[in-house]
Structure 1
Amino acid sequence: MIQINKIWTIALMIVLCHSTFAQQKKKVTLEDVFKSNTFSAKGVYGINWMKDGQYYSSLTRTATGPVVVKINVATGKQEETLIDGGKLGVDFSSYSFNADESKALLASDIERIYRRSSKAINHVVDLKSGDAQLLVNGEKIMYATLSPDNDKVAYVQDNNLFIVNISDQKITQVTEDGKWNHIINGAADWVYEEEFSMAKAFEWSPDGRKIAFIRFDESEVPEFNMQTWGKLYPEDYKFKYPKAGEKNAEVSIHIYDLASNKTVKVDSGEETDIYLPRIYWTASSNTLAYIRLNRLQNQLDFLAANATSGESKLILQEKSDTYVDLDFNDNYHFLKDGKGFIRTSEQDGYKHIYHHDMSGKLIKQITSGDWEVSNLVGVDEKGKKIFFTSTEASPLERNLYVINLDGKNKKILTPASGTHSINMSKDFKYYITTHTEANRPARITLNNTAGKEHQVLEDNQELVDRLKNFAISKKEYFTFETVDGTSLNAYMIKPADFDESKKYPVLMYVYGGPGSQNVTNSWGGLRDFWHHHLAAEGYIIVCVDNRGTGARGREFKHATYANLGAIETEDQIAGAKHLGTLPFVDKERIGIWGWSYGGYMSSLALMTGNDVFKSAIAVAPVTTWRYYDSIYTERYLQTPQLNPSGYDDNSPITHVNKLKGNLLLIHGTGDDNVHFQNAVDLVDALIKADKQFESFYYPNRNHGISGGNTSWHLYSMMTDFIKRKL
């Protein structure tokens, strides 16, 4: 009897301790995530390195307005205020210096257009006198850019390219044929902006005497009509959007000479159904380099044009039986001595750095191995070194390395595990790294390239301490093999009070698109904390990077070519089946959710994996690739004319008859990217198939479905659906 009492006493103490722990640690609530911003991390914004590398500037906001301060790298102390918005009477939100840092360009009242485009009111500030000049009478203009010779600003307005003299405000109109939904000069059309990661489409020559720009003739591109709501009579918003297989804008490159007031057209070849996604001035102001892609994007030509005559010559060419990767990080660097250039390519199976002479001849493949260069951070020509980030330590991580131009003496500069985002000084002596880990918010530090940390700019210690008050489980990483034996990376978030003797429902989170990556050792932000809220409610969260995702080489990424959705969904189903074998998983309650490509994946997985998945949420999904844009879709599927089965075989619309589980379909009616049309056609197909489902639309919301109370409403609704249906 005494022994039994001891056992009960010990058991009671354990229960009481656990109860005390539970009282001390708070559950993550929806209010914490979306109302009170409890888990928002701080950053350091508006940092620009000064030309000598010994100082950097930073944009901060004071009680009187925005200020740009100059900070000494060696001491970490602020030495002077360069721009005081309060004194100038300019409430600016971004700034940039010219080359010699005698002037600055301030943008205020910024009006966003699409993902990367915007227009704003601009001022030029003379940093010596402190005087500020309002440009173009305060009219909103796009992509205002100071000239290298400091006395002019180029900009785009009403689809035309202009130049304004700072001294007398005299305006020169470079082009005159710009017209909405017809001709654009110096700015990208919708599809280039979205899929080639560009908005500004002009560049000053190094001497400031010429401007190269891209002209888009979109007069024959079909219009998309997006209705907007909120007035007595809904209004139509029509814009040019080339869907897969449809007519693209005809693009051409032009070079304007300021002295002669003449424009020359660059000879980019006879074929007009092409892409011209990048222009680069070389060290010479008479040589413009540019990239030309064919419509199927399986041939990339790198050319150089004579800026006076427009005559072009081919420098190098890459071909592929799938597609040639266009590096959206703009990893092309022309050496100042005019003798060559540095670029990245995945031609050997992994993305690496290459050194060519100006004729295109390969001098040296600088990096190699079964890992990928993520970003070419900088080229120190004087020191003959290259700084880059890569996945060498792990596909889940990004670290900074330095290597000699001859490919020798590679050294890691950020050995700490996690993800490092780098801002390098112009003299390559210092860098600022934003370092995050899955379970640690951003720690932003100033370092020298010898490996010494100089200053902590932001450590988010307040958030780190706050997190200790919440019952949050760390992400656990694991791998499993899919049906063909390929090892896939994944992570899991368990409830904080996880009990391996219990069986838990699982919600899988998916994106899965070509070259993407969700499974990384990096801070996940608010969506991760929604997942932590669900974990607090008793769900296990799992994310799997299927075949076709990035950071694991060309073969892994290109495996989905011409048949999007097939093996990606197969891998997600395999992941769910693997989870179903775990003793603590209730295999009858596995769900999946995703946004955009992830919404496409989740809806398709629920239908084709109807014996595995119980429920799915699809937010802003592509439901047929026939409705998506030409550049993205054709890169991975060719055109619908050439590959109709690639478009139809794995469309969720094709598989509606297989639906058995619970589907929640969500879309914004103002989605300029993945049109609401996708949801409408899937709904129509589900009705015809006599399938019950749940659906919700957000009026006038774009692809991000945000603004005001929207995120709170959206995630509250999704949480309710999960609790009811999983």
Structure 2
Amino acid sequence: MIKSWKVLCLALVFALGLSSISQGQALKKVTMEDVFKNGSFTQKTVSGINWMKDGQFYSSLVEKNGAPAVVKINLATGEEAGILLDGSALGVDFSSYSFNTDESKALIAAEVESIYRRSSKGIFYVVDMATGQKQQLMNGEKISYATLSPDNDKVAFVKDNNIFLVDLSTNKLTQVTAEGEWNKIINGAADWVYEEEFSMAQAFKWSPDGKKIAFIRFDESQVPEFNMQIWGTLYPKDYKFKYPKAGEKNSVVSIHVYDLASGKTQKVDAGTETDIYLPRIYWTKDANTLAFIRLNRLQNQLDLFHADASTGASKLIISETSKTYVDMEYNDDLQYLSDGKTFIRTSEQDGFKHIYHYNLDGSLIRQITTGNWEVTAMVGLDEKAKKIYYISTEASPLERNFYVINLDGKGKKTLAPAKGTHAINMSSDSKFYIDYYSTADTPVKVTLHEASGKEIKVLEDNQALKDKLADYALAKKEFFTFPTVDGTALNGYIIKPADFDLNKKYPVLMYVYGGPGSQNVLNSWGGMRDFWHQQLASEGFIVACVDNRGTGARGRDFKHATYANLGKLEVIDQIEGAKFFAKMPFVDPARIGIWGWSYGGYMSSLSLMIGNDIFKTAIAVAPVTTWRYYDTVYTERYLQTPQLNAAGYDDNSPITHVNKLKGNFLLIHGTGDDNVHFQNSVDLVNALITADKQFDSFYYPNKAHSISGGNATWHIYTQMTNYLKEKL
């Protein structure tokens, strides 16, 4: 239910007043050094979890005596039961590990080097768990996505855009593909746009019996090349990579299966149309049946196929269509049951993301979950007990709770009902799980549980951080709801100074992202950016946030409302949010600002220009300024192509609205941004100059989209803080 503005305002005033009284006056202020240099508010967690096959232990990556180690933890007690991998003894400073199926071998990676957001390469070793002996792969050359075969005999990996195999017993190297070439052909690894937008880097998978490898081949030879200059030498270097901007050519993708015994490769039939996406491959329980997803260019049709791995012949199993788009993220929980006859997947076909059970031929058995809420993740499947474990927004879009339900859709039960955000890591046999739980006021608490929900042990409670936080004058996030122009309820939060005074007038800084399916207003522990907002609050700012139409966790219609017209409704909602705050008696309506990064930079730019009567100041970091410059997969999913929807690209571009700029505008970008190219800001600057508008800008040489590394993080947040103090 939407509260009236007066009731809500009084409630906020009351809450703000009470929380400031309770905090007292002797507490420390949050400083920039606390946030960005000292790491004062960094929370601890439990990482590198691997559930072990005997069901009695799990393993975890920790540090021992200054070196990495993998320890074994007893599930019954939560106590450490031994060291499985010792970095000191191995002489390897590894940062990741994995075991093969029977845990007789481990694969560890050292000197890992990031390439883009998800891709990397490193030096890999195979460790014999019985003898402790290590075997270095490729004589220490850096390789990508090394993966042990299910039959324990081999390792597959990608190097120089080709797939290779190493036989561990003989050290024999087999080259599976040979035509891989930089900026032309990629085998077994994703191209730039698949990695960024389909959340994948490795593009090959072993068959369940270890006798075949399925892989995706990317022919990006016709994809236009983007050029970035790398500064720091007498003559700047060119870095060229394939980046398909909206409306341009994508990679031509195909799926292939390599048979180890014959050494032959079979192409899989994915249809005659080549202007498509093939974002997922899966092996079913049958070692000769490969499943794959096909999306059309506009992403409004998603097809699931089953293919014969020996012949390449394929059969359409499910086809899902939409008048807008079929979101891959909402169809990415495909699991084949061991009965070999059925599978489970998620879809938002009824308006909310839910779990469905199908026969192998694609006929629906039943919809397992239903309601006006979303399943955000499937985390466990107990086939023997016929139970599915999942996380959902059923309690509230602001919460993430943990549930179990029977495969027949009955017997739903909440396992983690506490208000806040639960992230679950469940054992493969669904007997145990680890709960990472936090709220907006409480850092993560990591606990080990039996599947029934019974807590076994607290693995990390962050008590030291909580004790430290008690010494600081921290403001609470106050959540609220208000109606936008069409009556749609929007969720938001507000952070006020700890010494809040009802009789003062405060400036307001709104924080925005606002992109499709995103969510900022969530009852969970924040990170560095949240503590920067706390620092601003300590300097006398009110910081607020509104999740506009188009954001996530509220169903398909709410999310798809912005389809074909990105920026229009989102900006209206941010302006309405600013007007909502402006009416509060403790807000100075002449000092309202907005800031954001990436999509948020797009939003803050556009909000300042279109909402020039309400916003005084905006900071845009790494903004998209015209969707014509962004990639095919993301942009065309929401806007179609520029050829089909030119107005959708241009009507709400900040470049189109530069003549409306009145307030203070700070534009920041990294010149090495491979994601949202510096070109976006260059063109906006040119348009602002042509329009004779004064503004401020700053660039970070060679810095990527995150503008991090070296002193960059400290510098950018110091710069933004000083700007806000001066202008707002």
- TM-score class, shorter-chain normalisation, is over 0.9
1:464 maps to which of 463, 466, 471: 466
* 1:141 and 2:154 matched: no
2:511 maps to which of 506, 509, 512: 509
Alignment match, 1:666: 668
User: For the residues of structure 1 that align with 2:263 and 2:384, how far apart are their CA atoms?
Assistant: 37
User: For the residues of structure 2 that align with 1:535 and 1:162, how far apart are their CA atoms?
Assistant: 54
For residues 621-700 of structure 1, what are the structure 2 equivalents within 5 Å? 621-700=623-702
Given that residues 492 and 541 in structure 1 are in contact (C-alpha distance below 8 angstroms), is that contact kept between their aligned partners in structure 2?
A: yes
Report the CA distance between 1:379 and its aligned residue.
1.1
User: For the residues of structure 2 that align with 1:427 and 1:659, how far apart are their CA atoms?
Assistant: 58
For residues 567-578 of structure 1, what are the structure 2 equivalents within 5 Å? 567-578=569-580
SS in 2 for 1:441: coil
For residues 583-622 of structure 1, what are the structure 2 equivalents within 5 Å? 583-622=585-624
* 1:496 and 2:498 matched: yes
For residues 109-124 of structure 1, what are the structure 2 equivalents within 5 Å? 109-124=111-126
Q: Which amino acid aligns with 2:385?
A: G
Alignment match, 2:55: 53
SS in 1 for 2:377: strand
SS in 2 for 1:697: strand
Alignment match, 1:24: 26
Q: Which amino acid aligns with 1:614?
A: K
Runs of 5+ unmatched residues, structure 1:
1-17
Given that residues 329 and 375 in structure 1 are in contact (C-alpha distance below 8 angstroms), is that contact kept between their aligned partners in structure 2?
A: no
User: For the residues of structure 2 that align with 1:498 and 1:54, how far apart are their CA atoms?
Assistant: 52
**Structure-2 change in CA distance of 1:41 and 1:20 (3 Å):** closer
SS in 2 for 1:569: helix
SS in 2 for 1:327: helix
Report the CA distance between 1:19 and its aligned residue.
12
User: For the residues of structure 2 that align with 1:486 and 1:492, how far apart are their CA atoms?
Assistant: 19
2:317 maps to which of 315, 318, 321: 315
Q: Which amino acid aligns with 1:443?
A: K
**Structure-2 change in CA distance of 1:21 and 1:190 (3 Å):** closer
User: For the residues of structure 2 that align with 1:555 and 1:463, how far apart are their CA atoms?
Assistant: 40
Show CA shifts across 1:421-471 (max 9, x none): 110012211100110100110000101121211111110111111111111
User: For the residues of structure 2 that align with 1:648 and 1:77, how far apart are their CA atoms?
Assistant: 59
User: For the residues of structure 1 that align with 2:578 and 2:456, how far apart are their CA atoms?
Assistant: 46
Given that residues 341 and 360 in structure 2 are in contact (C-alpha distance below 8 angstroms), is that contact kept between their aligned partners in structure 1?
A: yes
SS in 1 for 2:328: coil
Report the CA distance between 1:716 and its aligned residue.
0.4
1:719 maps to which of 713, 718, 721: 721
2:528 maps to which of 526, 531, 539: 526
Given that residues 509 and 593 in structure 1 are in contact (C-alpha distance below 8 angstroms), is that contact kept between their aligned partners in structure 2?
A: yes
User: For the residues of structure 2 that align with 1:550 and 1:80, how far apart are their CA atoms?
Assistant: 43
1:357 maps to which of 356, 359, 362: 359
Alignment match, 1:535: 537
Report the CA distance between 1:53 and its aligned residue.
2.2
> What do you get for the CA RMSD once the two structures are aligned?
1.1
Given that residues 218 and 250 in structure 1 are in contact (C-alpha distance below 8 angstroms), is that contact kept between their aligned partners in structure 2?
A: yes
Aligned residues: 709
User: For the residues of structure 2 that align with 1:274 and 1:30, how far apart are their CA atoms?
Assistant: 48
* 1:190 and 2:192 matched: yes
SS in 2 for 1:413: strand
Report the CA distance between 1:23 and its aligned residue.
5.4
Alignment match, 1:340: 342
Q: Which amino acid aligns with 1:54?
A: Q
Alignment match, 2:46: 44
**Structure-2 change in CA distance of 1:19 and 1:424 (3 Å):** closer
Which is worse superposed, 622-631 or 124-133?
124-133
Given that residues 136 and 169 in structure 1 are in contact (C-alpha distance below 8 angstroms), is that contact kept between their aligned partners in structure 2?
A: no
Q: Which amino acid aligns with 2:446?
A: I
Alignment match, 1:245: 247
User: For the residues of structure 2 that align with 1:415 and 1:23, how far apart are their CA atoms?
Assistant: 35
**Structure-2 change in CA distance of 1:21 and 1:408 (3 Å):** closer
SS in 2 for 1:24: coil
Given that residues 512 and 597 in structure 1 are in contact (C-alpha distance below 8 angstroms), is that contact kept between their aligned partners in structure 2?
A: yes
Report the CA distance between 1:327 and its aligned residue.
2.1
Show CA shifts across 1:19-43 (max 9, x none): 9976520111111100111111111
Given that residues 479 and 488 in structure 1 are in contact (C-alpha distance below 8 angstroms), is that contact kept between their aligned partners in structure 2?
A: yes
Runs of 5+ unmatched residues, structure 2:
1-19
Percent sequence identity over aligned pairs: 71
User: For the residues of structure 1 that align with 2:331 and 2:201, how far apart are their CA atoms?
Assistant: 14
Show CA shifts across 1:460-496 (max 9, x none): 1111111111111110000100001000000000100
User: For the residues of structure 2 that align with 1:335 and 1:588, how far apart are their CA atoms?
Assistant: 60
Given that residues 197 and 328 in structure 1 are in contact (C-alpha distance below 8 angstroms), is that contact kept between their aligned partners in structure 2?
A: no
Q: Which amino acid aligns with 1:409?
A: G
Given that residues 211 and 256 in structure 1 are in contact (C-alpha distance below 8 angstroms), is that contact kept between their aligned partners in structure 2?
A: yes
Alignment match, 1:8: none
SS in 2 for 1:331: coil
Show CA shifts across 1:319-352 (max 9, x none): 0010001127831101111111100000000000
Alignment match, 1:263: 265
Given that residues 330 and 353 in structure 2 are in contact (C-alpha distance below 8 angstroms), is that contact kept between their aligned partners in structure 1?
A: no
TM-score by length of structure 1 reads 0.97
SS in 2 for 1:420: strand
For residues 355-434 of structure 1, what are the structure 2 equivalents within 5 Å? 355-434=357-436
User: For the residues of structure 1 that align with 2:138 and 2:719, how far apart are their CA atoms?
Assistant: 47
Alignment match, 1:11: none
User: For the residues of structure 1 that align with 2:40 and 2:709, how far apart are their CA atoms?
Assistant: 18
User: For the residues of structure 1 that align with 2:562 and 2:225, how far apart are their CA atoms?
Assistant: 30
SS in 1 for 2:78: coil
Which is worse superposed, 150-159 or 45-54?
45-54
Q: Which amino acid aligns with 2:335?
A: H
Alignment match, 2:558: 556
Given that residues 351 and 553 in structure 1 are in contact (C-alpha distance below 8 angstroms), is that contact kept between their aligned partners in structure 2?
A: yes
Given that residues 331 and 347 in structure 2 are in contact (C-alpha distance below 8 angstroms), is that contact kept between their aligned partners in structure 1?
A: no
**Structure-2 change in CA distance of 1:650 and 1:467 (3 Å):** same
Alignment match, 1:232: 234
SS in 1 for 2:576: helix
SS in 2 for 1:639: coil
Given that residues 330 and 347 in structure 2 are in contact (C-alpha distance below 8 angstroms), is that contact kept between their aligned partners in structure 1?
A: no
Report the CA distance between 1:269 and its aligned residue.
0.3
SS in 1 for 2:217: strand
Q: Which amino acid aligns with 1:265?
A: K
For residues 438-477 of structure 1, what are the structure 2 equivalents within 5 Å? 438-477=440-479
Given that residues 419 and 435 in structure 1 are in contact (C-alpha distance below 8 angstroms), is that contact kept between their aligned partners in structure 2?
A: yes
Given that residues 388 and 404 in structure 2 are in contact (C-alpha distance below 8 angstroms), is that contact kept between their aligned partners in structure 1?
A: yes
Given that residues 399 and 419 in structure 2 are in contact (C-alpha distance below 8 angstroms), is that contact kept between their aligned partners in structure 1?
A: yes
SS in 2 for 1:392: coil
Show CA shifts across 1:157-207 (max 9, x none): 000011111111101100000000000000000000000000000000000
2:288 maps to which of 286, 289, 304: 286
Alignment match, 1:157: 159
User: For the residues of structure 2 that align with 1:384 and 1:19, how far apart are their CA atoms?
Assistant: 52
Which is worse superposed, 496-505 or 271-280?
496-505
Show CA shifts across 1:256-298 (max 9, x none): 0000100000010000000000000000011000000000000
Show CA shifts across 1:704-724 (max 9, x none): 000121111000000000011
User: For the residues of structure 1 that align with 2:22 and 2:272, how far apart are their CA atoms?
Assistant: 76
User: For the residues of structure 2 that align with 1:710 and 1:453, how far apart are their CA atoms?
Assistant: 42
User: For the residues of structure 1 that align with 2:648 and 2:332, how far apart are their CA atoms?
Assistant: 30
